[in-house]
Each structure stands twice: as structure tokens, then as C-alpha cells.
Amino acid sequence: MKHKEIVEKMSLEQKAAFVSGYDYWHLEEAPELGLPKIMITDGPHGLRKANPDKKSSTGGIGLGNSVPSTCFPPAATSSCSWDPELLKQEGEAMGEECLKEKVSTILGPGTNIKRAPVGGRNFEYF
């Protein structure tokens, strides 16, 4: 089924649930439309996924109990290499870690033109 067809078949409630999420790290599923529950993680410097076997030390959102993963340099630093092949290798390595941990989407690295220095997260962007 094509994306446009899936969206056309979704109810308003399904659309709202899909964009608001099932919980902090998962998107809502719609099995009748072929949409599984998918896991997303934050990841400006690589995979950051909560370890379900460890208690969180940060109040429930699962940031203090991450599974082991590689911490890549910030995008602003990596881009200073001017080496597209190196950045491709970083992306492939992040993808391999996500596959191993069954993560469908990693939220990073990011691109931004940094028009407002008050953003607070500009160090993360290319």
C-alpha cells in the first residue's frame, strides 16, 4: 500500500495517535494498515536507547540507563573533516547499532542553519 493510500484510510484518531506517539520512544501502531509500532531514539551523537533491564536514574524517561553504544563526534566537528566518506561511515555505523537494538528511527544527526543562537542545541547540527 502506498503512503498516500495509508493516510487516506487512517481515521482522524489514528492520525493524531501516530503523530503524538504511543509513549516516549514509540510511535503508535495500526496493524490493519500494515503500520507496526516502531521505536525511535534520540541520537545527535549516535544511538541512545534505554536499557529495559536497568532502572532509570533520571525520573522515568529512560535517559540514565542507556544501552552501550558509540558516542560519535558532534556533527559540527565531523563536518570539519570535509570528508564525505568518513561521514558516510559514521552514518553506516549508527545504522548498524540501530539495527542491532531494533530501533527504526534515530533522531539525528541534524542539519540547521543556526539563525538563532538562543536555540541551545546548535552544537548538534551540520
Average pLDDT over residues 95-100: 95
The domains of the chain are located at 37-124
pLDDT at residue 106 greater than cutoff 70: yes
How buried is residue 94: exposed, middle or buried, by Cβ count under 10 Å (0-12/13-18/19+)? Answer: buried
pLDDT tens figures, 61-84: 555 678 889 999 988 888 899 999
Q: What is the pLDDT of residue 23?
A: 85
Looking at every residue in the chain, the average pLDDT score rounds to 85
pLDDT at residue 7 greater than cutoff 90: yes
Q: What is the pLDDT of residue 64?
A: 65
Q: What is the pLDDT of residue 57?
A: 60
Return the residue matching grid coordinates 534515530.
106
